[in-house]
Structure 1
Amino acid sequence: MQAIVRAGETFSWDRGTTREQAQLMWFPEPPGRTFVAVDSDGDVLGTANSVRNHHGGASHIASASFMVGPAHSGQGVGRALGEHVIAQARQDGFRALQFNAVVETNLPAVHLWRSLGLNVLGTIPEGFRHPVHGYVGLHIMHRAL
């Protein structure tokens, strides 16, 4: 997580987020869930969390966040986590999944989420300050469950 947050290219946390702050944000209270993908040696490959995106009358919408270790990118870890989160959200009774902040220059993630049935509902122009590309769009993505 630290390498991804520090790079500031795909995740909307402050690049100076501490370990303690990350733990508070990444491990939500129930009904939120945190998932960890590990290899046969027990090494962490990636992680995801899933939370209720809204409350009250919109509490049937889930959201999720994902981080895959840079050394494991392109190896199916994100897909496995995504498929698991979708299945679990459906099992938990959510009716839809909404991602609030997919950086438009994160093409592997955009492609993956599209392949898993999410569509871009809209893009916030210049919604993300990328350390290399400057201000870029931030997609809001959605799929029914």
Structure 2
Amino acid sequence: MKKLLLLCLAALLLPALVACGRSSSDRAERSKPRVSISSDAVLLRRAPAANAQISPDGTLRIDDIVLPQQAPNRAKLQLLFGHLQMLRQQALAEAKPDPDYRAIPVRSTPEIDQLSGELLQAIPPLQPYRESFGNLQAERH
């Protein structure tokens, strides 16, 4: 009887343990530095730093605080936004449908690498996000 009880208890706990392992790996994936490209913004994420956001008009925000930029840097931010949007559109066109709307990993282009490098040098508050540009993710929404 005790063996049957232990067997039933193990059978009930096994799915819960498997689910815990999956969520911790999902959490680890979410905490990786990345550039998240959506239809209306580009988010630079790197824990524990605040998110940085690039808007279509070249506005740079870190933690919802607008960082004023000189015209050349603002133009580069707009250009980077445009290149990332083109990359996102291409990824969405080539990707298979996903009912869970998971992000699509995309590869950077030489133009994006050059622009991001120039911006990282020109705008010191972007320095903590350098690693994020190694992980570009096209959002499906």
Please tell me the TM-score bracket, short chain as reference: under 0.3
Tell which has more relative contact order, 1 or 2 (C-alpha 8 A, sep 6+).
2
Structure ranking higher in helix proportion: 2
Q: Please identify the structure whose Cα radius of gyration is greater.
A: 2
TM-score (norm 1): 0.27
Q: Which has the higher strand share?
A: 1
